[in-house]
Amino acid sequence: MMIAIVSNFLNHHQLMLCNEFKKYCDEFYFIATEEIPEDRLSMGYSNMDSQYDFVLRTYDGSTDEKKIYDVLDRSDAVIFGACKDELIEYRMKQNKLSFLASERFFKKGTWRRFHPAIAKAVKRRSVQFKDKNYYVLCASAFLPRDLSLLGFPAEKCYKWGYFPKTERLECYPEKDSGTLRILWVGRLLKLKRADMAVKACAYLKENNVDFSLDFIGDGQCKEELIKLIDKYSLQNNVNFLGSMSPEEVRENMKGADIFMFTSNFREGWGAVVNEAMSSGCAMLASSAAGSVPFLIEDGRNGLVFRNGCQADLNKKLYKLATDSKMRENLGKEAMHTINNDYCPEVAAKRLVEFIKAEDKSKVNFEKGPMSGAEILKNKWYK
| Residues β-bridged to residue 135 | 99
Q: How far is the C-alpha of 176 from the C-alpha of 255, rounded, in Å?
A: 7
Q: Are residues 76 and 215 in the same domain?
A: no
pLDDT band at 167 (very low <50, low <70, confident <90, very high): confident
pLDDT band at 41 (very low <50, low <70, confident <90, very high): confident
Evaluate whether residue 374 is within a structural domain.
Answer: no
Predicted local distance difference test score (pLDDT) of residue 382: 84
Q: Are residues 69 and 203 in the same domain?
A: no
Q: How far is the C-alpha of 291 from the C-alpha of 273, rounded, in Å?
A: 7
Asked whether 22 and 30 are in contact (CB, 8 A), the reply is no
Q: Are residues 98 and 240 in the same domain?
A: no
Range of the domain at 251: 180-341
Q: Helix, strand or coil for residue 100?
A: strand
Helices (H) and strands (E) in the chain, counts: 14, 13
Residue 194 has phi, psi (to 5 degrees) of: -60, -25
Domains: count for the chain = 2
Evaluate whether residue 172 is within a structural domain.
Answer: no
Q: Are residues 133 and 145 in the same domain?
A: yes
Evaluate whether residue 375 is within a structural domain.
Answer: no
Q: Are residues 151 and 281 in the same domain?
A: no
Q: Are residues 80 and 219 in the same domain?
A: no
Judged against a pLDDT cut of 90, whether residue 303 lies above it is answered with yes
Helical H runs in the chain?
A: 12-24, 38-42, 65-74, 85-92, 116-125, 143-148, 194-206, 222-231, 246-255, 271-278, 292-295, 310-321, 324-336, 344-356
Judged against a pLDDT cut of 90, whether residue 166 lies above it is answered with no
Q: What is the pLDDT of residues 191-232, one digit of tens each?
A: 999 999 999 999 999 999 999 999 999 999 999 999 999 999
Put residue 10 in one of left, alpha, beta given phi > 0 → left and psi -120 to 50 → alpha. Answer: beta
Q: Are residues 353 and 265 in the same domain?
A: no
Q: What is the mean pLDDT of the chain?
A: 96
Q: Are residues 105 and 218 in the same domain?
A: no
Q: CATH number of the domain that 133 lies in? A: 3.40.50.2000
Q: Helix, strand or coil for residue 239?
A: strand
Asked whether 172 and 328 are in contact (CB, 8 A), the reply is yes
Interval 324-334 mean pLDDT: 97
Evaluate whether residue 352 is within a structural domain.
Answer: yes
Q: What is the pLDDT of residues 331-373, one digit of tens each?
A: 999 999 999 999 999 999 999 999 999 999 999 999 999 999 9
Q: Are residues 160 and 229 in the same domain?
A: no
Evaluate whether residue 246 is within a structural domain.
Answer: yes
Evaluate whether residue 110 is within a structural domain.
Answer: yes
Evaluate whether residue 254 is within a structural domain.
Answer: yes
Predicted local distance difference test score (pLDDT) of residue 116: 96
Q: Are residues 326 and 193 in the same domain?
A: yes
Q: Are residues 104 and 127 in the same domain?
A: yes
Q: How far is the C-alpha of 165 from the C-alpha of 192, rounded, in Å?
A: 23
Predicted local distance difference test score (pLDDT) of residue 298: 98
Q: Are residues 324 and 217 in the same domain?
A: yes
Asked whether 91 and 72 are in contact (CB, 8 A), the reply is yes
Judged against a pLDDT cut of 80, whether residue 86 lies above it is answered with yes
Judged against a pLDDT cut of 80, whether residue 170 lies above it is answered with no
Evaluate whether residue 171 is within a structural domain.
Answer: no
